[in-house]
Amino acid sequence: MKYGDDLWELRESMEKLSVGLLEAIDSGEREKEEEIRQELRQIGKEDPDLVYKFELEQLQKALMEGRESDARIHSMLASAARSCLPQYNLDGLWVGK
């Protein structure tokens, strides 16, 4: 998902799920807690900002552990997520003096 209303709605639903997760943890409902965690993981894969941060972390971890092939995969996935983030897509825009 790139940006716009769909992304805002996605993040709003993640916010509601997070509140539900905290309530499930507080009440000790392990099954409901795991269901919400799974749903948050699934929805989180659609947010390019989260995917970008996660893939960068995994890239650094793979590099530190010497896993070059995994590092290349995480680098490609991070680049794909980055291409969906408007703050990194300022082609042709020159700002300054």
- Taking each helix axis from N to C end, the angle separating 48-64 and 30-44, rounded to the nearest 10 degrees, works out to 90
| Contact indicator for 17, 41 with CB cutoff of 8 Å | no
Quick check: 84 and 3 in contact, CB under 8 A? yes
pLDDT tens-digit profile of 9-18?
888 888 888 9
Residues 17-68 have pLDDT tens digits of 899 989 998 988 899 889 988 988 888 778 888 889 899 999 999 999 999 9
Q: Is residue 39 within 8 Å of residue 69, measured between CB atoms?
A: no
Cite the DSSP H helix spans in the chain.
5-27, 30-44, 48-64, 68-82
